[in-house]
Amino acid sequence: MELEVLGYISAILVGVSLGLIGSGGSILTVPILVYMMSVDPVLATAYSLFVVGATSLVGGVKNILNKMVDLKTAVVFGVPSIIAVYLTRAYLVPFIPDVIFSVGDFQLTKSIALMLLFAVVMILASMSMIKPRKKTNDYDVSSIKYNYPLVLLEGSLVGVLTGLVGAGGGFLIIPALVILARMPMKLAVGTSLLIIAAKSLLGFLGDIQGDRDIDWMLLSIFTSLSVAGIFIGIYLSKKIDGDKLKTGFGWFVLLMGIYIIVKELFLS
């Protein structure tokens, strides 16, 4: 019971993370749901899509009002990503067998495989957070240029990854927008939140269409706390050095990723 209460309190941190650094929400959501609230890992990835999608939508709308979102880029990158995440949740995830393979006494189940993949995503995300980012000047929308084939490919790949592990993929989307669309960092962060919101919420529809038993009470409370957290994060972002916070959070995510790998392989 204490762990469940701690899980709800931790839900606030999901929103705080998104409000402060524009990513990291899903990196926290799945471990909280699995290890603190005893949610099945496969179902936790579905819940994560809804929680992160709803919370990112709040941040995305705020960025639209502040003119920190490029809607054309959100569409170009978002459409293939949305299609990919929906198809992944609706067809690919259910297609994965409950037991992928076994060696001796060890069985690689779907749940373990998804948690291991999620841990790898966490480690990659932590490296993106720990690495210092280059300073950019104020944005000029007219300077944005698209490498359409690469943007479409990246959007599709991020969508598949989001569908598999329930991660919003902000750590992949932001660098892609900066490199492939030549977008300044501040605009990329705002635009990524809108993309994350759209693909996560629509991807969740793929789960609703299945036979999953959704705990709407847990999901609504967790999401409400996360949404409250994003307002706290937005407020704190004006008081705290975002780069230092992002680096510290990156090290925390790295340790969490390593812990999940050790737990799933050796402590289960």
Q: Is the pLDDT of residue 140 over 70?
A: no
pLDDT digits (tens, 9 = 90+) for 91-102: 888 888 888 888
The pLDDT value recorded for residue 139 is: 47
The mean of the pLDDT values for the chain is 80
Q: Specify the higher pLDDT residue, 141 or 250.
A: 250
More confident: 183 or 36: 36
The packing angle between helices 148-165 and 110-130, to 10°, is 130
What are the pLDDT digits (tens) for 113-138?
888 888 888 788 788 778 776 655 54
**What is the tally of structural domains in the chain?**
1
**Residue 146 backbone zone (phi > 0: left; psi -120 to 50: alpha; other: beta):** beta
The residue behind tokens 């780069």 is 243
pTM confidence score? 0.74
In angstroms, the CA 138 to CA 124 distance is 28
Q: What is the pLDDT of residues 182-232, one digit of tens each?
A: 777 778 778 888 888 888 888 788 777 666 678 899 999 999 999 898 888
Q: What range does the domain containing 249 cover?
A: 2-267
Which helix (DSSP H) or strand (DSSP E) does residue 100 occupy?
strand 99-103
Picking from 147, 163, 173, 165, the residue whose alpha carbon sits closest to that of residue 78 is 173
Q: What does DSSP say about strands 106-109 and 99-103: parallel, antiparallel, or unpaired?
A: antiparallel
